Structure 1
């Protein structure tokens, strides 16, 4: 009986701590939502999130055009016109590359894998100048198809995702592939029918990471997009800040909140698979 009471008390304390930490982590987002209904003076008057004199001016002004031929809805369309292809190409290229390094032995594999992993230590700021020169010579800068942003993902340039999938692939029994080979499956069929279903949690994790990172990317579009009508939401939010006349912070916060809604929706829809992929990828079977 004493043991049962201790277990109940331990469970209650655990949930109290988790709830407190959860509220602490979520509160900035709650405050941001409440601040979209406040005026500047009220926003900076305290940390409370409930507005005293609610106003919809923030959302009304968020829908206005800033920077010429661009508005919030168009900027969000621009964002996902390159984010979705990036996600698809990243998952496909990373899966194929991970399968090649994880399951096949070929001359120079260890050296090539070491080179691949070494790219994890290269900061993006080091690559910006040579990549810009390369893409500019190709005539891709300010491309309507966002080629400098999309094309590199076709070649598995996101090494982190390749490494994640290789780690997950180590938990997949090789006997399944041997059985598929006996049944007459070739390499491509084995990858599609056996490996891909087993890698689904890890692939969803890669897709979610790429989706959120690409949606929030500011430097990439800033370098390669120069036409205002092609600007994504990340740049549009910056454009909505007018340093000359002062910021309407409710408009800035409303613009930011609307722009992150798709990322929040996608994450919560796939959170179970995402957590499964992250946890399983860190455990070697």
Structure 2
């Protein structure tokens, strides 16, 4: 009986490790391929470790193309992702506060419309948005990638609303007695209590914008404004020889910001997803 109780945890950990390895194997393959010459990557695709480490892929990849180094693409991605994340989180928090605490005519209709935006794929609104931004003269700039974020995001609004619902309304009443206005309650009471939800929203917003390829492809037509996701595609040229080693090297570097954010913010990520605010 004692032996059986000891075997179960061992089997559990063995299975978990094996499944974990299967899940991260593509990532490990990409990282190891970044140290292989381009002609060896697919010739020995079944081999994980390179025969000889080839670190010059990182030098070649960081050199970029067309006289534009990859540091420019990283800078563009950080600027676009940072601005859109800040706008998306703040505007979503404001909208979520209004929908969860205010009672006004048509509130349910606006809430349903907000939920409908979560169900619409980007491909459906892609053409109308492009026409609007083209008439505004924004094509070729970062404005189409940043400005829409300042009008909130359906997923983030819904997430923050669920967190606000867990905050007792008695705190709002106590703040009113102390002289706080509606905006004061939001800034001094609600915002400090929904930090986990805000950080969770920021993580997802930054990650989605950092990985966004289609929108960057649509609106950015100047290589000096390219993001990392768009610049990685430039290493692949079907008409000639693709530099797979440099592409995998830069792809490895491109996942570092997301990985670091997840490592240092996973505590808030778990708290935000669980949506457990204060219980009344």
Q: TM-score, normalised by structure 1?
A: 0.91
Alpha-carbon spacing, 1:257–1:107, altered in 2? closer, same or farther (3 Å): same
Q: Is the CA contact 2:73–2:228 (under 8 Å) kept in the aligned structure 1?
A: yes
1:50 aligns with 2:45: no
Q: Confirm whether residue 233 of structure 1 aligns to residue 232 of structure 2.
A: no
CA distance in 2, matches of 1:9, 1:204: 40
Change (3 A) 1:189 1:113: same
Which residues of 2 match residues 71-220 of structure 1 at below 5 A?
71-143=69-141, 146-156=142-152, 158-220=153-215
Q: Is the 8 A contact 1:201 1:274 kept in 2?
A: yes
The number of aligned residues is 279
2:251 maps to 256
Q: What residue ranges of structure 2 are gaps of 5+ in the alignment?
A: none
Query: In the TM superposition, what is the alpha-carbon distance from 1:20 to its structure 2 partner?
Result: 2.5
On the 8 A contact 1:71/1:236 being kept in 2, the answer is no
Report if aligned partners of 2:159, 2:275 keep a CA contact under 8 Å in 1.
no
1:198–1:70 distance in 2 versus 1, CA, 3 Å: same
SS at 1:245 equivalent:
coil
* Uncovered stretches (5+) of structure 1, i.e. residues with no partner: none
RMSD: 2.2
Q: Which residue of 1 aligns with 2:38?
A: 40
Structure 1 counterpart of 2:64: 65
User: Relative to structure 1, is the Cα distance of residues 120 and 281 closer, same or farther in structure 2, using a 3 angstrom cutoff?
Assistant: farther
Task: After superposition, give the CA deviation of every residue in 1:150-191 in whole Å (9 maximum; x if it has no partner).
Answer: 1111111x2111111111222111122222222221112211
Contact 2:212 2:229 in 1 (8 A): yes
Inter-partner Cα distance in structure 1 for 2:175 and 2:3: 52
TM-score, with structure 2 as normaliser: 0.92
CA distance in 2, matches of 1:174, 1:11: 45
Deviations 1:95-130 (A, max 9, x none): 000000011100111111112212222211111111
Alignment check: 8 A CA contact 1:208 1:267 kept: yes
Following the alignment from structure 2 to structure 1, what is the Cα–Cα distance between the partners of residues 6 and 273?
Answer: 30
1:134 to 1:75, Cα distance in 2 relative to 1, 3 A: same
2:267 and 2:14 mapped to 1: Cα distance? 23
